[in-house]
Amino acid sequence: MVQSHNLGTFALKILLFKINLNKERSKNKIDSNMITVTDTARKQAIHLMEEDGKPNLFIRVGVEGGGCSGLSYQLTFDNEEKEGDKTFEDNGVKIVVDKKSYLYLIGTSLDYSGGLNGKGFVFNNPNAERTCGCGDSFSI
């Protein structure tokens, strides 16, 4: 008798994404599941934390329902980890994400775009199938 594994569309996409990441990870010896931070984002995060007089904070990223594409990115500075959080360190910056949001953010790179037309912190999310014009929301 054949058992049917009733995976939802999202779960199936995550599974396929992880399989592809594992192939890349073995080639590049990089944990592709982690959230990475560009040099520009690192410099801006450190600058903002020092400006507030709180250099020992970490970046908390997350996802919540809302925005024109269905899901919105969240980014705050925090000093308290919660049960179930996943913690990464990349480029000298500690990143913390709750377990639920992590599934949406696997492999994401955090960047910073400054200047007159800059958008601030930018999430480059390989899981997003569609993003809105402002880049603050996405769908999978």
> Residue 96 in contact with residue 78, Cβ under 8 Å?
yes
Residue 76, token pair as written in the block: 């705050």
Residue 133, token pair as written in the block: 């014009």
Numbers of helices and strands, H then E, in the chain: 3, 9
Architecture of domain 33-139: Sandwich (2.60)
- How big is the chain, counted in residues? 140
Give the pLDDT band (50/70/90) at residue 35.
confident
> Residue 91 in contact with residue 38, Cβ under 8 Å?
yes
Q: Which residue is listed with tokens 């953010």?
A: 105
pLDDT at 29 over 70: no
Element (H, E) at 111: strand 109-113
Residue ranges of domains in the chain = 33-139
Closest-CA residue to 84 (of 67, 70, 100, 68): 100
46-55, 56-65, 118-127: least confident range: 118-127
Summarised one tens digit per residue, pLDDT across range 68-79 is 557 788 899 999
**pLDDT number for residue 138:** 47
Mean residue pLDDT of the chain comes to: 76
